[in-house]
Amino acid sequence: MSADPDELSRLESPMPLTNYVATLRLTPITDGDRAFAEWTAEFDCAPEVADDLVTNIGQNVFLAGFQALKRQMTA
């Protein structure tokens, strides 16, 4: 794990990537009781799998995570 509380570094993954570091940042929105969520990730991988990994992480990791966060926050 990273020393920065906003960063998560995954040491093992079933995906063909290395050096994965993700950052989830929640910023309060001043108009109403809401927040802006920004989730980014950086990683190294072979060029031939990069597009598939970006799609997979975006749809299966980020989207699923945001949906779970929304369910938790609206429960």
**pLDDT digit string (tens) for 41-74?**
999 999 999 999 999 999 999 999 999 988 988 8
* Residue pointed to by tokens 């940042």: 25
**pTM across the whole model:** 0.70
Domains of the chain (ranges, CATH numbers): 7-74 (3.30.530.20)
Residue 7: its pLDDT value, please?
55
3-state SS track over 1-49: CCCCCCEEECCCCCCCCEEEEEEEEEEEECCCCEEEEEEEEEEECCHHH
